[in-house]
Amino acid sequence: MKRLKYLAVIITSLLLVFTLTACGSQSLSSQNIYENDKKSKTVTWGVKADTKLLGLVDVKDGQEKGFEIDLAKAITKKMYGKDAKAKFVTVTSQSRIPLLKNGNIDAIIATMTITPERQKTIDFSNSYFDAGQSILVKDGSPIKKVQDLNNRTIIGVVGSNSVQNVKKFAPKAQVLQLPDYAQALTALKSGQGDALTTDNVILAGMAVNNPGYKLQGKAFTTEPYGIGINKGQTDFKSAVNKALSEVENDGTYNKLIIKWFGNVPGFNYKEVLRNDSSTNK
Amino acid sequence: MIHLLTSNWNEFISGFGWTLLSSVLALFFSLIVGSLFAILEVVPNKFLRIIGNIYVEVFRNIPLLVITMFFYLVIPLYVVKINGFTAGTIGLTIYTSAFIAETVRAGINSVDIGQMEAARGQGMTFWQAMRYIVLPQAFKYVIPPLGNQFVNLVKNSSVLAFVAGFDLMYQGNAIASQTFDTVNTYIIVGVFYLIITLPISYYMQHLERKLA
């Protein structure tokens, strides 16, 4: 009986510690990020480290590279001036929202689709990219479209909404969720699944690096990517939106699109250009 | 937290079931494999001793995740297709068996050498003496450290989450990323692990008192 009492004390104190840490981080994230960053002239962005073309840490020099990285740098400069610095913290689909909530990062620019479920937890900027979900298969695979995946195994990544989406189109598919895209791709190569699903731009990056694998079928969803911002950070959010539309209007956005997506087979970059008078879109 | 638990009850319970199944399988096989290699490490034959030593030293000193990834990603490429659950359980068995082998070997060595000599003097073969005289005494000594290994095994089974083994941690990750309620999800997952590990701890203490 005495032992049980000790146990109860231990468990209660553990719960208390958890609740207290939760409270602590709440107050950190409720500070005004816009003013804080203005003083330090630094914005801390959560970015992907494993997504070629969008956000990738180059193993040779340890630098983050990709469309989202360049866009984040451009937005930071528009927000706080030429000498402002963008700091990058690598996140995964699974860790990005918790890291934002507890104040480790100011904003997420990491292939995150604007969804109603996520909007309950965090705020989004205006969309900065329009992706669509698709599938990646091995050359010669019998799978032609997402519906062919019924009764087959499909690989996704924990925390991305693509695993929930694919169930709508192929309800009988078995879904395996792996920790990140690198591992998901390796699992596909090992034959642990018949296809890999996520947004077409991410898959395009994989197809570029891995001959023998290709994007299959049309995108079956629209995935508007948004910059994730903590709830209540209205100053910061409107500053980001303002900077984003400036970047789109002065042509920087389209330059970045052409830089990163200009030469990707199977991906028509002209569809994602914005506010560009020269292409009449 | 209650709402989180009830609305994701099926996921938690199926994760709990796979974790339990994987732990029980790995516990059973690692005990057998571990004991075998422990005996190999003390047999008179030098060649067998070397094999036992290599097995233990190699698998004791490689991270569990590496062993599991090897079975999940490499074996399917060249040998046979195995799913995440199997790969995880095999990895867990091999990894734990190396530790169990060391534990049991220590137990065997702590049995007075005279016991073995006396048994051999009675006309028993090495294996008979091992089976009937030395091992029963050895296991008595190693119950406390074995209990530790079993508890570690259950906790290490969370490696299945990395190879889509549908275990408790895998479900926890999925639920946390869908509900965004990270703190409460992992508290619940932790409590589910306690449900498995605490009885093991208590049973091992009970066994220790009974046999000591």
Residue A281 lies in a domain: no
Residue B162 near chain A (CB below 8 Å): yes
Query: Which chain A residue shows the shortest CA-CA distance from B78?
Result: A190
Give A94's contacts in chain B (Cβ within 8 Å).
173, 176-177
Give B162's contacts in chain A (Cβ within 8 Å).
178-179, 183
State the residue range of the domain holding B113.
20-167
Average of per-residue pLDDT values in chain B? 92
Return d(Cα A211, Cα A270) in angstroms, integer: 24
Return d(Cα A73, Cα A216) in angstroms, integer: 33
Whether the per-residue pLDDT at B152 is higher than 60: the answer is yes
> Do A48 and A104 share a domain, yes or no?
yes
| pTM, full prediction | 0.75
Q: Residue B137's closest CA among B115, B159, B117? A: B115
Whether the per-residue pLDDT at B135 is higher than 80: the answer is yes
Q: Residue A108's closest CA among A121, A116, A27? A: A121
Residue A52 lies in a domain: yes
> Do A201 and A156 share a domain, yes or no?
yes
Interchain CB distance below 8 Å, A177 and B83? no
Residue A10 lies in a domain: no
Residue B182 lies in a domain: no
pLDDT band at B182 (very low <50, low <70, confident <90, very high): confident
Give B167's contacts in chain A (Cβ within 8 Å).
none
Could you tell me if B138 and B116 are in contact, meaning their C-beta atoms sit under 8 angstroms apart?
Answer: no
Please give the tally of structural domains in chain A: 2
The shortest C-alpha distance from A32 to chain B (Å) reads 23
Residue A101 lies in a domain: yes
> Do A168 and A201 share a domain, yes or no?
yes
Q: Residue B34's closest CA among B107, B92, B106, B101? A: B101
Query: Which chain A residue shows the shortest CA-CA distance from B170?
Result: A177
> Do A73 and A208 share a domain, yes or no?
no
Span of A16-30, B99-113, B118-132 with lowest mean pLDDT: A16-30
Query: Which chain B residue shows the shortest CA-CA distance from A184?
Result: B163
Residue B31, domain CATH: 1.10.3720.10
List of residues 6+ apart from A255 with CB closer than 8 A: none
List of residues 6+ apart from A242 with CB closer than 8 A: A78, A79
Residue A265 lies in a domain: yes
Residue A156, domain CATH: 3.40.190.10
State the residue range of the domain holding A36.
31-131+223-272
Residue of B76, B84, B178 with shortest CB distance to A176 = B84
ipTM computed for the complex: 0.74
Q: What is the pLDDT of residues A117-130, one digit of tens each?
A: 899 999 999 999 98
> Do A125 and A35 share a domain, yes or no?
yes
Please give the tally of structural domains in chain B: 1
> Do A121 and A95 share a domain, yes or no?
yes
A207 SS3 class: helix
Return d(Cα A227, Cα A30) in angstroms, integer: 18
Residue A95 lies in a domain: yes
> Do A149 and A126 share a domain, yes or no?
no
Return d(Cα A32, Cα A20) in angstroms, integer: 21
Q: What is the pLDDT of residues A12-60, one digit of tens each?
A: 766 666 665 555 444 555 678 888 888 888 999 999 988 888 998 888 8
Residue B113 lies in a domain: yes
A11, A115, A177: best to mutate for the B interface, most B CBs within 10 A: A177
Residue of A98, A118, A191 with shortest CB distance to B76 = A191
Could you tell me if A158 and A177 are in contact, meaning their C-beta atoms sit under 8 angstroms apart?
Answer: yes
